[in-house]
């Protein structure tokens, strides 16, 4: 019996360590981009973020996913850097809530709203 519990604990620890490693890796990518490219797309300051849409990949999409998760109560997103169907759905819901054109494309207006909401996140998501 003790062995089964031990295996579950090991598996849980392994999963948590994987997620921690993934978060550290993503943070490293963002920091690398900031120092490598100077003025670039960063969380909370998307002035230099390019327009992204369904199918986009890379650091700007990670920034988008992190801002959407932090600044809204819509649905948490895994910051994987891939603008897929889940990210598209959250973007469209966010644009509708903000009174923006609902097209699923994250351009200067959507980025500006996200920056404001990132600095003023919801108090309670219940």
Residue with tokens 């993503």, as numbered in its chain: 26
102 Rama class: left (phi>0) / alpha (psi -120 to 50) / beta: beta
pLDDT score, position 89:
94
Residue ranges and CATH numbers for the domains of the chain are 2-119 (1.10.101.10)
Predicted local distance difference test score (pLDDT) of residue 66: 87
Reduce the DSSP state of residue 42 to 3 states and report it. Answer: strand
Residues of the chain below pLDDT 70: 1-6, 9-40, 123-124, 126
Q: What is the pLDDT of residues 92-122, one digit of tens each?
A: 999 999 999 999 999 999 998 988 887 777 7
pLDDT of residue 45: 75
């Amino acid at each position: 019996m003790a062995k089964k519990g031990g295996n579950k604990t090991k598996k849980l620890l392994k999963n948590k360590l994987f997620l921690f490693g993934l978060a550290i890796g993503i943070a490293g990518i963002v920091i690398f981009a900031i120092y490598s490219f100077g003025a670039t797309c960063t969380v909370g300051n998307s002035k230099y973020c390019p327009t992204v849409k369904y199918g986009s990949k890379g650091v700007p999409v990670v920034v988008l996913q992190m801002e959407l998760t932090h600044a809204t109560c819509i649905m948490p997103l895994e910051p994987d850097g891939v603008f897929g169907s889940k990210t598209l759905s959250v973007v469209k819901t966010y644009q509708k809530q903000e009174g923006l054109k609902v097209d699923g494309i994250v351009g200067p207006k959507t980025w500006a709203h996200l920056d404001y909401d990132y600095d003023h996140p919801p108090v309670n998501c219940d």
